[in-house]
Amino acid sequence: MGGNELTVVEQRYEAVSPADFFYRNRDIAGFSNPVRALYSAVRELVENSLDACEVARTPPDIYITLTEVEKTETGSSIYRIRVEDNGCGVPEEHIPSCFGRVFFGSKYTLKQTRGTFGLGGTMAILYGQITTHKPVRVVSSTDGVNVHAFELMIDIQNNRPIILKKTSTKSRGGWRGTIVEFHLEGEYGRAASRIVEYLRQTAMVNPHANIVFIDPRGRLYLFERATTKVPRPPKEVKPHPHGVDVETMRRMIATTKCDNMLDFIVNHFHRVGKATAKKFLKFAGISPRKNPKKMTPDDIVKLVRAARMFNDFLRPDASCLSPIGAKLLEIGVRKELKLGPDAFLMAHQRKPSAYSGYPFIVEVAIAYGKGVPKREGGFTLYRFANKIPLLYDEASDVSWKVVNKVINWSTYKVTQDMPILIVTHICSTKIPYKTVGKEFVADRPEIEHEIEQAIRYVARHLRLYISRQRRMEREKRRLGVYSKYLPRIARYAAHLAGVPKPPDVEKLLREVARFE
C-alpha cells in the first residue's frame, strides 16, 4: 500500500485554558447539576473561610445567606449566595486572580489546609457566571483598616479576571475578613438536607467555629461554638526526602542559593541535620562538596532514588499538623448527636505516620447507644479530612473499606443492626483525594493501616462496654428474680416464726448485686 493512497484526515487541534477545561468538564469538580452545584458552592466557600480564619488565628464567625432571586422554568431557581468570614482577608492586588482565575491561590504549599486544589472557590463563581452571566462581588480587608471591594467576571477562554468595578473604603469597627457574593442557578429543595448535614458535620469537627446559615426559606441554622480555644494552626513544612520526585528535586536545585550539596540537603529538607546529610550523600555516592548547579539529570535521578531508599532520615514531624484531638472530637460528637449519658463514646488519636514523605494523623471515634442514628444495612460513617466532612461517594473511600471490608465486627460483639456511628478524621499536609471534588480518599496502604488500627483500638473498648452491658442485663434479670421472691420468702418465714415484722431484704439484695 503506497502512502499516497491514504487520505489525510483533518483534525482540529487546540489548546484550552484551565478555566475552559473545568468549564467544559464541571462534573469532575462537583458541579454536575443544580442540586450538586449549590451544595458544592456552599462547601467551597465555607472551606475557604475556615482556612482564612485559621491563618488569622481567630475563632471563625461565618455567615452564609442563600436567597432565592427568581424561579426558572425548569424547576430550578436563581439564588444569591453570600458568605462572610472574619479571616485573614485577601490582599488587594491578589483579589482579582484569587476569585477570577483557575489554578491561582495560596494553597500550593506543604501545609494542612481544607482547600487543596486552588480551584473550588473560582469554580463556584465560574458556575454562577455561566448560569446567570452576572458578576461576583468580593469585599476584603487584611488589616482591619482598608476595605477593598471588587466586581469581577471571568474571561473563561483566557483564564483571566475582568475587573468591572473597584472601590476602597475604610473598615468600620475594625472589621477584617472576606465577603463573597454572587448569583447561581441551583435547586435548594433537593440540596437542603445535604447542605445542612454538611454544616452540622463541619461544626462537629470545628467546635471553635460559629456558623450561621439563613436558607432561602428564611430558616436560620445556628451552629454555635463550644469553645473559643483556637487549635494550634498548621505550619508549612519543607519536603521530606522520602517523598521528593525528580521534578521537585530539579526545581529545588535550579533555585537553591547553596553552593555545595551538604548545605543543600540540610537547608531544603524536612528534619535533616548535618550528620544525617553527610551519611546520606555518602550512601548516594555524591560528594558533599559538589556544587548543586553541576548536578546532571542522571545525578538527580540517582539522588532521588537514594533518598527513597535511605533508612536513617527522621520520620516526618507531625507538629506541622493540626488534628482535632480526642477530647474535642468527643465533645463535638456528643453535642451534635445529642448523645444520651449512658451511650458509649470514645475517640482516639493515633501517633503521627507518613506516606510518600507526607506526614498524617488519623483520629477516630465510635459511638453506640441512644442518640446514635440507626442505618439500614450497616453502620453510620462520618468521614473527615483536614476538618472537612466528605459526604459523597462513601463506598469508594478508604474508611468505608476498612469499616465494611477489612474489620470483622463479630470479634467485637458488634452486629450490623446495632446503632453505631464511626467517625474517621485524616489530617495531612496532602490528603490523597481521588477527585477534584474532594469526595473520597485513596486507599494508600499507610493510611488504611492507621485507620484500621485506630478503629480496632476503640472497638476493643466498645467490646468491653458491650460485654459489661450484657452482664449487667443478666444481673438485672437475676436480681429481678431475687427481688421478686425474697420479700415473699421473708414474709413467709416471719409468719412461720411468728415474728410480726419480716426481716429487711434490701440489705440482702444489695449484697447479691454485683454491680451498682
Site for a copy of itself in 106-165 (CB under 8 A): 106, 108-109, 116-118, 129-133, 141-145, 156-157
The contact pattern for a copy of itself, residues 203-242, with x = CB under 8 A and - = no contact, is ----------------------------------------
Alpha carbons within 13 angstroms on the beta-carbon side of residue 188 total 22
Nearer to a copy of itself (CB atom), residue 25 or residue 411:
25
Q: How far is the CB of 146 from a copy of itself (least distance, A)?
A: 8
Measured distance CA(213)–CA(183) in Å, rounded: 17
The continuous run of DSSP H or E covering 361 comes out as: strand 358-368
What is the grid cell recorded at 408? 470483622
Helix (H, G, I), strand (E, B) or coil at 458: helix
Report residue 405 CA to chain centroid gap. Answer: 22
Binding mask 388-417 for a copy of itself (x = CB under 8 A): -----x-xx---------------------
358: exposed, middle or buried (Cβ count in 10 Å: 0-12, 13-18, 19+):
buried
* 483 touches a copy of itself by CB under 8 A: no
φ/ψ of 344, rounded to 5, equals -85, 130
CA dist., res. 165 & res. 226, Å (int): 40
Minimum CB separation of residue 18 from a copy of itself in Å reads: 5
The distance of closest approach from Cβ of residue 130 to a copy of itself in the complex, given in angstroms and rounded to an integer, is 4
> Least distance from C-beta 103 to a copy of itself, angstroms?
5
Could you give the string, one character per residue 341-360, with x where binding to a copy of itself holds by CB under 8 A and - elsewhere?
A: --------------------
Q: Which 256-295 positions form the footprint of a copy of itself (CB under 8 A)?
A: none
Instruction: Write out the three cell numbers for 476.
Output: 438485672
Strand 380-385 vs strand 420-428: parallel, antiparallel, or unpaired?
A: parallel
Residue 58 CB, shortest distance to a copy of itself, in Å, is 9
User: How far apart are the C-alpha atoms of 154 and 101, rounded to whole Å?
Assistant: 7
Q: Which of 301, 267, 308 is nearest to 286 (CA)?
A: 301
How many chain residues interact with a copy of itself (CB under 8 A)?
85
Neighbours of 387 (CB within 10 A): 24
Of 75 and 273, nearer to a copy of itself (C-beta) is 75
Looking at residues 29 to 48 of the shown chain, list those that interact with a copy of itself (rule: CB under 8 A).
32-33
Minimum distance of a copy of itself from residue 320's CB (angstroms): 16
CB under 8 A: which stretch of 28-36, 218-226, 321-329, 340-348 binds a copy of itself?
Answer: 28-36
User: Of 22-30, 319-327, 360-368, 467-475, which part binds a copy of itself (CB under 8 A)?
Assistant: 22-30
Task: Give the bridge partners for 384, in sequence order.
Answer: 389, 425
**Minimum distance from residue 484 beta carbon to a copy of itself (Å):** 49
Residue type, 261: M
Q: Which of residues 425-444 bind a copy of itself (CB under 8 A)?
A: 432-437, 442, 444
Query: Cell digits for 104?
Result: 491561582
